Amino acid sequence: MSQVYNWHLGRKMDYPFEAAYPKRQFAFVFNINRCIACQTCTMACKSTWTFSKGQEHMWWANVETKPYGGYPQFWDMKILKLLEEADPDGQRWTDKPAGNSKAPYGRFDGQTIFEARKMLKPGSSRVLGYLPTDEEWNFPNIYEDNPVGKKGVPNQFDQTGVELPVHKTWFFYLARICNHCTYPACLAACPRKAIYKRPEDGIVLIDQKECRGYRKCVEACPYKKAMYRGNTRVTEKCIACYPRVEGKDPESGGQPMETRCMAACIGQMRMQGLVKMSQDGIWAEDRHNPLYYLVHVAKVALPLYPQLGTQPNGYYIPPRWVPRDYLRQMFGPGVDGAIERYAYPDRELLAVLQLFRRSNLIIFRYEIKEGPKIYEGTLRGHKITLYNDTVIAYGQNGKEIFRTTVEEPIYVRSAQHANSI
């Protein structure tokens, strides 16, 4: 075991391999507040990559209703439970979320899936995990829209309107793909070294020629995003639509392009990028990269179950209406601050939030041109001022991709077409 630095945990941790970081890292931000579970992303992926025989139960992209739903069923509860058994009562964070990007969420003092020594018998796995049954894989959208009711009152919803900060009756949609983790558990577990992380963009791939169907990765990936295919007897996973990210899609004009599931998002809740890495495994400062801004400056986007230890590269703006203890378990101690800043966004955040899904090309940099004040008022006791700023997105080649404003443009149809669509 070597020691690697995991900035999500604010500390070093055990990992079976030496640390090695890509130049840039595939990463994404999903704004849960905007997802409507239309499953367009799910189908965009399926119709591109997993429509063949033997892939019937394979959904590299999926959207599940939390807290009851899950694909495979109960994946998160199961791994959290195993960790709890490994380290009873020890899965805790200390220190408060701080300003520094080496430990933005404080320090996690519990055990990761690589460290749960009590449960890792020598000679067996290198990673704590479990193998889901067919049954658990078979119902990708089980418990869709099933809410949690009021505590202790079964079959009863809130009869009257409710107000933020939290709802007593609640659910939310969690969209998931492979997190192309910085310390992939799938890679760590593979006895044949068939899984690799690309040095140019950190995308994690399974070499289909090397895989021999041991399914150690399926067992080890805590997010259950490696999936075994029975008819070819090899495991497959999300490939981050790498031809698009490489700019090989004919539509891209040679520029890096966002993945299928991102581009298809109806709720405009997804943004994907390639963030700059520095050689200590921390994101290199890149102040005007939108993902860097959302994760490290505004700190509104948080990793999914950081305590598992893989340093996943998917980040989520947590849902405002969900009880905080649930969210803290899912996204770590940064939740309260993230929700506070998202609910009462400052001038820059409001502008950056406009960048989601205005183009399918990957945004490498943004710039804000200040506009006039358009609103002033109070919201739940907070003073709110809105400016109609213009935000401009630039691609890898430094060229402008698009520009948009905070205030949505209003189009007035000509009288001739006033009532047509």
Partner 1 sequence: MIEKGETGLPVRYDPLLIEEAVFLALRGHPDAKRYHQKRDRLYEISDPEERERSFQNLHQAWFSRLGLASQIEKAVAERHQLNSTVKTCVIARATSKKEEGAELFVNPDEGLSGKERRNVRILICPESFLESPPLLLTFLRHELQHITDMLDPGFGYNPALPAVEGGPTYDRLLQNRYCVLWDATIDGRMVRRGWAPESIRAERLNDFAQAFPMLGDETGQLFGRFFDQEPHTHAKLIAFARDPRTALAGSPEGPHPGGRCSLCRFPTYVFEPNPECLPAEVISQICQDFPQWRSDHGLCEQCADLYKGRTQFENAQFPF
Binding site for ligand SF4 (CB under 6 A): 35-41, 44-45, 49, 60-61, 63, 173, 175, 177-181, 184-186, 204, 221, 223, 225-226, 237-241, 259-261, 264-267, 269-270, 310
The listed partner (partner 1, ligand SF4, none) that binds 79, CB under 5 to 8 Å by sort, is none
Q: 234 or 265: whose CB is closer to partner 1?
A: 234
x/- letters, 108..147, toward partner 1 (CB under 8 A): ----------------x------x-xxx--x---------
| 408 three-state secondary structure | coil
Quote the least distance from Cβ 264 to ligand SF4, whole Å: 6
The listed partner (partner 1, ligand SF4, none) that binds 180, CB under 5 to 8 Å by sort, is ligand SF4
Dihedral angle sign, alpha carbons of residues 379, 333, 320, 289: positive
Which one, of 80, 1, 93, 4, lies nearest residue 279 by Cα?
Answer: 4
Q: 135 or 163: whose CB is closer to partner 1?
A: 135
d(CA 355, CA 268): 9
Residue labelled with tokens 């507040």 = 33
Q: 142 or 266: whose CB is closer to ligand SF4?
A: 266
Quote the least distance from Cβ 199 to ligand SF4, whole Å: 15
Which one, of 394, 302, 290, lies nearest residue 350 by Cα?
Answer: 290
Quote the least distance from Cβ 139 to ligand SF4, whole Å: 17
Quote the least distance from Cβ 45 to ligand SF4, whole Å: 3
DSSP class per residue in 276-327 = EB-TTSSBPP-TTSHHHIIIIIS---EESSGGGSS--SEEEE--TTS-HHHH
The listed partner (partner 1, ligand SF4, none) that binds 49, CB under 5 to 8 Å by sort, is ligand SF4
The listed partner (partner 1, ligand SF4, none) that binds 40, CB under 5 to 8 Å by sort, is ligand SF4
Q: Is the Cβ–Cβ distance between 257 and 251 less than 8 Å?
A: yes
Q: 207 or 251: whose CB is closer to partner 1?
A: 207
**What is the identity of the amino acid at 310?**
T
The listed partner (ligand SF4, partner 1, none) that binds 133, CB under 5 to 8 Å by sort, is partner 1
d(CA 348, CA 389): 9
Interface of this chain with partner 1, residues 232 to 271, rule: CB under 8 A: 233
Q: Is the Cβ–Cβ distance between 170 and 149 less than 8 Å?
A: no
x/- letters, 197..236, toward partner 1 (CB under 8 A): ---------------x-xx--------------x--x---
Q: How many residues does the chain have?
A: 421
DSSP class per residue in 73-120 = TTHHHHHHHHHHHHSTTT--EES---S-TTSTT-EE-S--TTT-GGG-
* Total interface residues for partner 1 by CB under 8 A: 11
Assess 408 for contact with partner 1 (CB under 8 A): no
The DSSP H or E segment spanning 128 is: none
The listed partner (ligand SF4, partner 1, none) that binds 289, CB under 5 to 8 Å by sort, is none
Quick one: tokens of 197? Answer: 């992380």
Residues engaged in binding partner 1 (CB under 8 A): 124, 131, 133-135, 138, 212, 214-215, 230, 233
